[in-house]
Amino acid sequence: MDRLTALRLLLRTHDRGGIAAAGRSLGLSASAASRALRELEDDLALRLFDRTTRHVAPTEAGRRLAARLAPLLESLDAAMVEAREMHEEATGTLRIVARRSYALRHVVPHLASFRTAHPRVDIDLELTEQTGLVPAHGVDMVIRLGLPAGKSFIGHRLASGRRILCASPGYIARHGAPATPDAVLQHPCLSYREEEEAPVWVFATASGGRQEIAVSGPFRSNSGEALRQAALDGLGLVLLPAWMVGGDVAAGHLTQLMAGLPAWPERYQAEIHAVHARAEPIPAKIAAFVAHLLAKADPAA
């Protein structure tokens, strides 16, 4: 018998005043319970109970050991219940690292409704412009471009990889609208900052190939939100995710250009996924948050 069960048996024998009753509470026969207590006494080299044919009473060593064990086993049981509840009921702190632009528009606005539905979950959210995020070092979930390699993670698609080439109506009124990818070169372009090379926009061709355009312009940034605002202010053309500028296009604040020609910034074509470590079962706090995000996701994005 394992030591933990033997200690539980000792405590129940002390509380109930009999070995048989203590054994039954743990699913043990009277003989098995008696044998387990004997083995525990042999291991400790102590007599824990004085036994007669009619009575079992703890020795002084048995009373002291039971007194020390009671709060320890109670704390252990509480910890095990808490751990079980975290898988069965959404509770605890959910630590998330997310792409800044997506999180500001499609995660943060839904935190209040999530907390209303799951008041026992606290959210710890870190925003970043980094790519290649994976859950690690105490992080429960990441919201990122694309899926990480390998089978250690599960991803849930939150938004498509569709990009929209657009500009403000004011910009188009002043400078006109490009009708072909080559014509994009005649316009200032607002692009993601690249360290050592000109940013490239890729356009799908009618033959199924791709045409790469090295763009330039008056403003670069590592923030999609900053690029969006610059486009709204009329600084030039921008190529951004539908989940970011689709609402602006629908409202007329931005005008989509070359709508029938798929395009994307090089290295920025991936979909948005919520990613967490593969586990069985998935902790309830993670499953609840993923379900909430999927329910709130814009199907048009």
Q: CA distances (Å), 5 to each of 68, 84, 109, 171, in order?
A: 16, 19, 49, 76
Four-residue CA torsion sign, 293, 296, 300, 301? negative
Span(s) in the chain for CATH 1.10.10.10: 3-88
Q: What is the dihedral of CA 222, 174, 256, 295, to 10 degrees?
A: 60
State how far the Cα of 287 lies from the Cα of 220, in Å rounded to an integer: 37
- Specify the pTM: 0.70
**What is the reported pLDDT for 88?**
65
Residue 168, token pair as written in the block: 């403000």
Q: Which of 114, 180, 181 is nearest to 141 (CA)?
A: 114
Q: Which residues pair with 277 in a beta bridge?
A: 153
In the DSSP assignment, the letter for residue 20 is H
φ, ψ for residue 203, nearest 5 deg: -115, 135
Residue 161, token pair as written in the block: 């990889």
Span(s) in the chain for CATH 3.40.190.10: 103-160+270-296
Span(s) in the chain for CATH 3.40.190.290: 163-265
Q: Which residues pair with 49 in a beta bridge?
A: 58
**CATH class in words for 3-88:** mainly alpha
Helix (H) or strand (E) run with residue 192 in it? strand 189-192
Q: 10 Å Cβ neighbour count for 296?
A: 14
Q: Judge contact between 39 and 6, C-beta under 8 A.
A: yes
Residue 147, token pair as written in the block: 């899926």
Q: Judge contact between 266 and 202, C-beta under 8 A.
A: yes
Q: Which residues of the chain have pLDDT under 50?
A: none
Residue 214, token pair as written in the block: 């090295």
**Number of residues in the chain:** 301
**What is the reported pLDDT for 244?**
95
Instruction: Give me the architecture of the 163-265 domain, per CATH.
Output: 3-Layer(aba) Sandwich (3.40)
Four-residue CA torsion sign, 230, 234, 236, 238? positive
In the DSSP assignment, the letter for residue 159 is E
> Domain 103-160+270-296: what homologous superfamily?
Periplasmic binding protein-like II (3.40.190.10)
Q: Which amino acid appears at position 268 of this protein?
A: Y
Q: Judge contact between 210 and 128, C-beta under 8 A.
A: no
pLDDT digits (tens, 9 = 90+) for 43-95: 888 888 888 777 788 888 888 888 888 888 778 777 766 666 556 678 889 99
In the DSSP assignment, the letter for residue 183 is H
Q: Judge contact between 243 and 228, C-beta under 8 A.
A: no
**What is the reported pLDDT for 39?**
86
φ, ψ for residue 208, nearest 5 deg: 95, 0
**What is the reported pLDDT for 297?**
86
**What is the reported pLDDT for 210?**
93
**What is the reported pLDDT for 294?**
93
State how far the Cα of 209 lies from the Cα of 278, in Å rounded to an integer: 36
Sheet containing 255-256, strands listed edge to edge, beginning at the edge strand earlier in sequence: 220-221, 189-192, 237-241, 163-167, 255-256
